[in-house]
Every structure is written in structure tokens, then in C-alpha cells.
């Protein structure tokens, strides 16, 4: 049975003031300390990355960005390059979050380009995917997973796959309080891992962490995290309070 280290990442979205971001990052760093049993990352808004990075320095907490540009440099007003993120102290970048896919209109092709650019430049990528409520109601979730995995991962090398983390985030569960049941999460994760196995082989399928995201809280984390194909959690709302985020990290450690 392959052992994948559990991974818990906090996506702060467009929340926190500078002072709040520093305090939250410091509290998470204090709570995690040097304990590296679980990989822990916080993903603050772009302008707070450097300050949050300083606050977690010396702890086992890694820094991630919520998005990344699809090109390496140049005339792309408003974009933030992978090199800038690395300079700011980031190890990770979230790519393809459902809010970027569905609110900001990011396509599978754009997401594939971002995944490539970020990995080529040395970042690790947390690739988000998942079905909408309408897609689930029409029984289309597996087709959606297949399309999203296939499109986002096209052309990656084995070395790049080693820096890819997938986050299954059913859109109907994000920020709604409607969490997937542990069985629903396990079924989706098993399907995605099966697709990875078919497309890219056993080594990649067994090594790639697949996180669950969507209304994870301190109360429901353990049930989700104990599923065999659920390797961690991408946490939105509950990552904005150190106590609830650290309780999820603790559930992942147990
Ligand atoms: C997210 O946005 O990645 C997320 C999972 O949000 P929430 O935990 O608030 O549902």
C-alpha cells in the first residue's frame, strides 16, 4: 500500500488585512512548529505573501499563492509570475480554483498553460478540479474529472508530476457548508487516481496526493481524511481562524 504524506493547505481567498494576515500566519506557525508529519501550507492574498512568509519562517509551514501567471514574464498587466512568487518565498501555487474557472472564466487550456509555467519555473502546483451541482445532478461528474485531469496534466514530465498535488473540490461544496460525505469524496478520489493510473502509470497514480476541498471544518475533517484516497484537505473558510485550521491539521496528523 503506498504511503502518501497528508497535506493541509489553507486558501485565504480575498480575505484578511495585512495585520490579520501576519497574525494568522504567526499563529499557524506557532501551532505547527517544526512538526512535519503533515505538509502544511497557507495561501494568503498576493500582497501579503512576503509578510506572511516572514511570519512562518523557521516553522514547517510552507507558503503558497492562490494563482499564478500563465507566462514567465513580460507585458501581462496585473499578473504575477512564478519567479516573483518564488522570490516572495512561495513553494506552492494554487491553479484552476473553481472561482477562477467559473467566476473568472479560466479555461482548461489556460489552466494547462499555468500548470506548465509554474512547474517549469520550480513551483509546486495545487491543481483544483471538480464538478458543479448541475453536472453532478446530470451524472456527469466522472466525465468532468476525466476532462479536467486530462486537460490540465497534458504534457507533464514525471519530474513535474512529482511537484503536482490535485485538489478535488466539488463546486457545490465550496463555501456552502454542504460538505461531500466521506464516501462521496472517496469515490471521486478513487476515480481520479484510476484515471491517473490509466493515463500516466502506477508510479504517478500512487504518488500524487489528492486533497479534498469544500466546506472542510474541524468537525468533519477526520472522517474525510481517513478515506484511503483522501490525502489531505484544501481549506477555505476554516483556514481563516488559526484554531479551526490547526484542528484540521491535527485531524490529518492523527
Ligand atoms: C476553497 O475555496 O478552496 C474551499 C475549499 O473553500 P471552503 O473550505 O470555504 O468551502
- Going along the chain from its start, the domains and CATH numbers come out as 7-253 (3.20.20.70)
Q: What tens digit of pLDDT does each residue of 189-227 get?
A: 999 999 999 999 999 999 999 999 999 999 999 999 999
Cα-Cα-Cα-Cα torsion 179, 181, 182, 185, nearest 10 degrees, comes to: -70
Q: What tens digit of pLDDT does each residue of 114-131 get?
A: 999 999 999 999 999 999
Please indicate whether residue 169 is annotated as part of the active site: yes
Q: What tens digit of pLDDT does each residue of 61-98 get?
A: 999 999 999 999 999 999 999 999 999 999 999 999 99
The predicted pLDDT at position 1 comes to: 57
Among 7, 8, 13, the mutation site with the greatest number of ligand 1 atoms within 8 A of its Cβ is 13
| Gap from CA of 212 to ligand 1 centroid (Å) | 10
The predicted pLDDT at position 3 comes to: 82
Cα-Cα-Cα-Cα torsion 90, 65, 24, 61, nearest 10 degrees, comes to: -40
- Average pLDDT in the 158-179 region? 95
- Average pLDDT in the 171-185 region? 95
pLDDT at 5 over 90: yes
Q: From CA 21, how far away is CA 107, in angstroms rounded?
A: 30
Burial (CB count <10 Å: 0-12, 13-18, 19+), residue 6: buried
pTM beyond 0.85, yes or no: yes
Cα-Cα-Cα-Cα torsion 230, 241, 177, 98, nearest 10 degrees, comes to: -70
- Active-site position among 97, 116, 124, 189: 97
209-223 burial by CB neighbour count: b if 16+ within 10 A, else e? bbbbbbbbbbebbee
Average pLDDT, the chain: 97
* Angle, helices 18-32/49-56, rounded to nearest 10 degrees: 30
The predicted pLDDT at position 173 comes to: 95
Q: From CA 167, how far away is CA 126, in angstroms rounded?
A: 6
| Gap from CA of 235 to ligand 1 centroid (Å) | 5
Q: From CA 133, how far away is CA 148, in angstroms rounded?
A: 16
At 82, list the grid cell: 512564478
Please indicate whether residue 137 is annotated as part of the active site: no
Which amino acids bring their CB within 6 angstroms of ligand 1?
11, 169, 174-175, 213-216, 234-238
How far is the CA of 95 from the CAs of 135, 174, 243, in angstroms? 21, 16, 26
Amino acid at each position: 500500500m503506498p504511503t502518501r504524506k497528508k497535506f493541509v493547505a489553507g486558501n485565504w481567498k480575498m480575505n484578511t488585512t495585512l495585520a490579520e494576515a501576519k497574525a494568522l500566519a504567526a499563529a499557524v506557525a506557532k501551532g505547527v512548529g517544526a512538526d512535519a508529519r503533515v505538509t502544511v501550507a497557507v495561501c494568503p492574498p498576493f500582497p501579503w505573501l512576503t509578510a506572511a512568509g516572514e511570519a512562518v519562517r523557521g516553522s514547517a509551514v510552507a507558503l503558497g499563492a492562490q494563482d499564478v501567471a500563465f507566462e514567465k514574464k513580460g507585458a501581462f498587466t496585473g499578473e504575477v509570475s512564478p519567479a516573483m512568487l518564488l522570490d516572495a518565498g512561495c513553494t506552492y501555487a494554487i491553479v484552476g480554483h473553481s472561482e477562477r474557472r467559473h467566476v473568472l472564466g479560466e479555461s482548461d487550456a489556460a489552466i494547462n498553460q499555468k500548470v506548465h509555467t509554474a512547474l517549469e519555473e520550480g513551483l509546486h502546483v495545487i491543481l483544483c478540479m471538480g464538478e458543479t451541482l448541475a453536472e453532478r445532478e446530470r451524472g456527469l461528474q466522472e466525465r468532468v474529472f476525466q476532462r479536467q485531469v486530462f486537460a490540465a496534466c497534458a504534457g507533464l514530465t514525471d519530474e513535474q508530476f512529482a511537484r503536482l498535488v490535485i485538489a478535488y473540490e466539488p463546486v457545490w461544496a465550496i463555501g456552502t457548508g454542504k460538505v461531500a460525505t466521506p464516501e462521496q469524496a472517496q469515490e471521486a478520489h478513487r476515480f481520479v487516481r484510476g484515471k491517473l493510473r490509466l493515463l500516466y502509470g502506477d508510479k504517478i497514480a500512487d504518488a500524487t496526493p489528492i486533497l479534498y476541498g469544500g466546506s472542510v471544518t474541524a468537525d468533519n475533517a477526520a472522517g474525510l481524511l481517513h478515506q484511503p484516497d483522501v490525502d489531505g484537505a484544501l481549506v477555505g473558510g476554516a483556514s481563516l481562524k488559526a484554531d479551526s485550521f490547526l484542528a484540521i491539521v491535527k485531524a490529518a496528523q492523527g
